[in-house]
Structure 1
Amino acid sequence: MKLDTGHYDYWPYRGRPKIRWPGGARVAFWVAPNIEFYELTPPANPARAAWPHPSPAVPGYSIRDYGNRVGHMRQMTLLDKYGIRGSISLSTALCTHHPEIIQMCRERDWEFFSHGIYNTRYTYGMSEAQERAMVLESMETIERHTGRRPAGYLAPALSHSEHTLDLFAELGGLYTCDLFHDDQPTPLRVRGGQRFVSVPYSLELNDTIAYVVNKIEPRRYGQMIKDSFDRLYEEGAESGTVMCIPTHNYQVSCPHRLKAFEDALAYITSHPDVWITTGREIAEHYLAHHHDQALADINAKNGGR
Structure 2
Amino acid sequence: MNEQATTTWPEGKRCAVLISVLFDDGMDAATAAPDLLQRSKSFSVWKYGATRGVERLCRTFASFDIAASWFAPGQVAEEHPGLLKSVAGAGHDLESHGWAFERHDRMLASQSVDLLKRSRETLGELSGKAATGFRLPAGNWPQGFDQSLLEAGYGWSASLNGDDVPYLHPSRLVEIPVHVELEDRPYFQFNFTPAFPKGQSRIPSYDGVLHNWIAEFDAYRRFGLCYVLQLRPEWTGTPGRISIVEDLLAHIRGFDDVWIATGAMIADWHRKNGVAPPLTHPLHVFDAYLQEQQSHG
Category of TM-score, reference length = shorter chain: 0.7 to 0.9
Cα deviation code 1:207-226 (max 9, x no counterpart): 00232376233221111110
For residue 117 of structure 1, give the secondary structure of its aligned residue in structure 2: coil
Partner of 2:62: 80
Would you say 1:89 and 2:58 are equivalent positions? no
Distance 1:286 1:60, change over 3 A: farther
Aligned residue number for residue 51 of structure 1: 33
Structure 2 gap ranges (5+): 190-196, 285-297
Q: Secondary structure at the match of 1:112?
A: strand
- Match of 2:295? none
Q: Is this contact kept in 1: 2:165–2:226, CA < 8 A?
A: yes
Partner Cα separation in structure 1 for residue 28 and residue 41 of structure 2? 10
Q: CA deviation at 1:40?
A: 11
Equivalent residue for 1:234?
222
Name the count of aligned residue pairs: 271
Alpha-carbon separation, structure 2, partners of 1:230 and 1:41: 32
Q: CA offsets per residue over residues 152-210 of structure 1, 9 Å max, x none?
A: 11112455433433310222321111111111011112xxxx32111122221110023
1:195 aligns with 2:172: yes
Q: Which amino acid aligns with 1:175?
A: W
Distance 1:300 1:198, change over 3 A: closer
Task: Indicate the SS of the match to 1:256.
Answer: coil
User: Does 1:161 pair with 2:161?
Assistant: no
Q: 1:272 to 1:81 in 2, by over 3 A?
A: same
Which amino acid in structure 2 is aligned with residue 278 of structure 1? T
Asked whether the 8 Å contact 2:98–2:137 carries over to 1, the reply is yes
Q: TM-score, normalised by structure 2?
A: 0.82
Q: Which amino acid aligns with 2:152?
A: L
Structure 2 distance, partners of 1:33, 1:300, is 31
2:95 to 113, 128, 140: 113
Output one character per residue of 1:213-262: Cα deviation in whole Å (capped at 9) or x when no partner.
762332211111100011111111xxxx1101100000011223221221
- Tell whether 2:244 aligns with 1:260: yes
What is the DSSP-based 3-state SS (H/G/I as helix, E as strand, rest coil) of the residue aligned with 1:204? helix
Decide whether the 8 Å contact of 1:34 with 1:246 is kept in 2: yes
Specify the code of the residue in structure 2 equivalent to 1:298.
P
What is the CA-CA distance between 1:138 and the residue it aligns to? 0.7
Q: Distance in 2 between matches of 1:86 and 1:40?
A: 21
Equivalent runs, 1:92-171 vs 2, <5 Å: 92-119=74-101, 121-123=102-104, 125-157=106-138, 160-171=141-152
Equivalent residue, structure 2, for 1:247: 231
Q: Give the CA deviation at 1:287.
A: 0.8
- Spell out, residue by residue over 1:103-139, the C-alpha distance to the aligned partner (whole angstroms, 9 max, x if none): 21222221111101224x4435323222221111111
Question: Counterpart of 1:172?
Answer: 153
* Conserved? CA contact 1:151–1:174, under 8 Å: yes
**1:82-120 residue CA offsets vs partner (Å, 9 max, x unmatched):** 11111011122233211122221222221111101224x
**Hey, what's the Cα distance between the residues in 2 that align with 1:243 and 1:170?**
28
Q: 1:39 to 1:187 in 2, by over 3 A?
A: closer
Q: Tell me the secondary structure at the aligned position of residue 29 of structure 1.
A: strand
Q: Percent identity?
A: 21
Deviation at 1:39, TM superposition (A): 5.3
Letter aligned with residue 56 of structure 2: R
Tell me, in whole angstroms, the C-alpha distance in 2 between the residues paired with 1:160 and 1:28.
Answer: 25
Cα separation, 2, equivalents of 1:253 and 1:116: 22
Q: Is the 8 A contact 2:73 2:98 kept in 1?
A: yes
Distance (Å, rounded) in 1 between the aligned partners of 2:24 and 2:37: 20
In structure 1, the residue matched to 2:50 is 68
Q: Work out the CA distance in 2 between the residues paired with 1:80 and 1:158.
A: 34
Distance 1:33 1:259, change over 3 A: same
SS at match of 2:16: strand
Measured in 2, the distance between the counterparts of 1:41 and 1:207 equals 15
